[in-house]
């Protein structure tokens, strides 16, 4: 019997998450046992609120154009389902909506917390006696999902960071004789330093920027850090630093933690760059500038990695294929091939071994002084930023085609 599909985007978006959506929707149209493909307005909330977008109302050309569109075309959210025993009403509501709209396939495109939600949903069909095939699709610029070699979205963010630090370092170098001596760039990464590590790809020669990379896996040592900054400026005339937002002190506390929490319960971070800048000003009296790449690093579709884009589309295609073949509670993960030449393939992995786990930089990727990365890290990172896939430009900027976002008529009472 033909069943409809529900696709939703979750958490912080990337420059290629819509490429996954595009590939998934186009692949779903090829399978006779999939009816309509609905997208959730604002992620899983679209299911709970019965805000379902009918993607069949969009033209093929618009769906294809999603490959070049950053952000979340259907809206994303930070909303984590509690355990079934703690909030049974949410799960019953999901099933109520799925049943009302004949949804038999659920695709959740997100990171760690999204994998946990997808795993929980994959299990409720047994408890609530409603068959559904649930597939989590990897997406996160943090690159911290386990079992997958890398995460769609990371390669493009890594390419942006490496390019930005290369260009900024040349700016600082040119003015260092009479002006700025130190430049600090803050990048994302709460517990894993993959984003910061990617800045190392800006180097072509020994001594090139970034000179210091501060990772959340290593406790911040103020004395050693300041000595290294001073020595670097004396040697090169300037110093470029990349710092992860999740940098911690020796007491395991974030240097930039605020009292604000997001919907997943995580402390709101941001502001470690000015902290480092003030430290350099106070202790070393060196003129410096700082910047926070923030949303820019994850939305820079104009400089996306072709490798990343290809992987983002392929996980969307495989998600559909896994679902129609009866798989449930799995994620299409990227497996790196063996050999000197970079290659990759997609394989299914159980969500039970992915949800609520986190992949950090291995010790072999971190330098002995804890403020840089090793050649082994660069060897892992380099293939992920290869290739370009520029969007179509119109009037000098990337062209974005608007979606109709026509919602399906509601059949149920509003969800409180």
Task: List phi, psi (to 5°) of 352.
Answer: -60, -25
- C-beta of residue 347 within 8 angstroms of C-beta of residue 54: no
- C-beta of residue 309 within 8 angstroms of C-beta of residue 153: no
Q: List the catalytic residue out of 51, 142, 144, 149.
A: 142
- C-beta of residue 6 within 8 angstroms of C-beta of residue 35: no
Alpha helix stretches (DSSP H) within 57-153: 60-65, 88-100, 112-128
Torsion of CA 97, 20, 354, 257, to 10 degrees: -90
Place of tokens 């033209």: 59
What does the alpha-carbon distance between residue 151 and residue 12 come to, in Å, rounded to a whole number?
13
Q: Is 142 a catalytic residue?
A: yes
Q: Tell me the CA distances in angstroms from 134 to 37, 107, 108, 327, 331, one per residue in order.
A: 14, 6, 8, 8, 9
Q: Of 194, 295, 308, 298, whose CA–CA distance to 242 is shortest?
A: 194
Task: Quote the DSSP letter at residue 303.
Answer: G
What does the alpha-carbon distance between residue 116 and residue 127 come to, in Å, rounded to a whole number?
17
Place of tokens 């692949």: 27
Asked if the peptide bond before residue 210 counts as cis, ω within 30 degrees of 0, the response is yes
Q: Of 73, 78, 107, whose CA–CA distance to 11 is shortest?
A: 78
What does the alpha-carbon distance between residue 18 and residue 68 come to, in Å, rounded to a whole number?
8
Which residues lie below 8 Å from residue 172, measured CB to CB, with a gap of 6+? 180, 182, 183, 209, 238, 240, 289
Q: What positions carry a catalytic annotation?
A: 142
């Amino acid at each position: 019997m033909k069943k409809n599909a529900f696709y939703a985007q979750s958490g912080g978006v990337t420059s290629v998450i819509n490429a996954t959506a595009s590939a998934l929707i186009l692949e779903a149209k090829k399978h006779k046992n999939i009816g309509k493909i609905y997208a959730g307005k604002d992620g899983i909330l679209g299911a709970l609120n019965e805000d379902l977008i009918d993607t069949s109302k969009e033209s093929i050309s618009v769906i294809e154009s999603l490959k070049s569109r950053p952000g979340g075309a259907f809206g994303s959210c930070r909303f984590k389902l509690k355990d079934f025993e703690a909030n049974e009403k949410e799960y019953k509501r999901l099933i109520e909506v799925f049943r009302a709209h004949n949804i038999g396939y659920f695709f959740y495109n997100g990171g760690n917390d999204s994998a946990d939600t997808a795993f929980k949903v994959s299990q409720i069909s047994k408890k609530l006696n409603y068959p559904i095939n649930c597939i989590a699709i990897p997406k996160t610029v943090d690159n911290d999902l386990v079992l997958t070699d890398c995460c769609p979205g990371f390669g493009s963010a890594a390419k942006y960071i490496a390019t930005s630090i290369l260009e900024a370092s040349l700016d600082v170098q040119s003015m260092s004789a009479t002006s700025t001596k130190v430049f600090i760039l803050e990048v994302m990464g709460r517990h894993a330093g993959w984003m910061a590590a990617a800045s190392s790809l800006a180097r072509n020669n020994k001594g090139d920027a970034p000179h210091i990379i501060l990772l959340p896996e290593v406790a911040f040592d103020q004395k050693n850090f300041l000595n290294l900054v001073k020595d670097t400026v004396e040697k090169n005339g300037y110093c470029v630093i990349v710092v992860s937002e999740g940098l911690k002190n020796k007491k395991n506390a974030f240097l930039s933690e605020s009292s604000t929490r997001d919907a997943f319960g995580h402390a709101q971070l941001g502001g470690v760059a000015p902290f480092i800048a003030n430290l350099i000003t106070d202790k070393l009296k060196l003129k410096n500038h700082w910047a926070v790449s923030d949303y820019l690093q994850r939305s820079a579709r104009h400089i996306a990695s072709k490798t990343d884009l290809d992987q983002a589309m392929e996980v969307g295609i495989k998600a559909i294929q896994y679902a129609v073949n009866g798989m449930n509670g799995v994620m299409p993960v990227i497996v790196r091939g063996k050999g000197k030449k970079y290659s990759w393939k997609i394989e299914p992995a159980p969500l039970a071994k992915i949800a609520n786990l986190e992949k950090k930089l291995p010790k072999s990727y971190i330098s002995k002084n804890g403020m840089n990365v090793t050649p082994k890290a660069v060897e892992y990172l380099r293939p992920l930023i290869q290739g370009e896939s520029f969007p179509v430009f119109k009037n000098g900027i990337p062209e974005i085609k608007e979606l109709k976002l026509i919602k399906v008529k509601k059949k149920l009472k509003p969800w409180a």
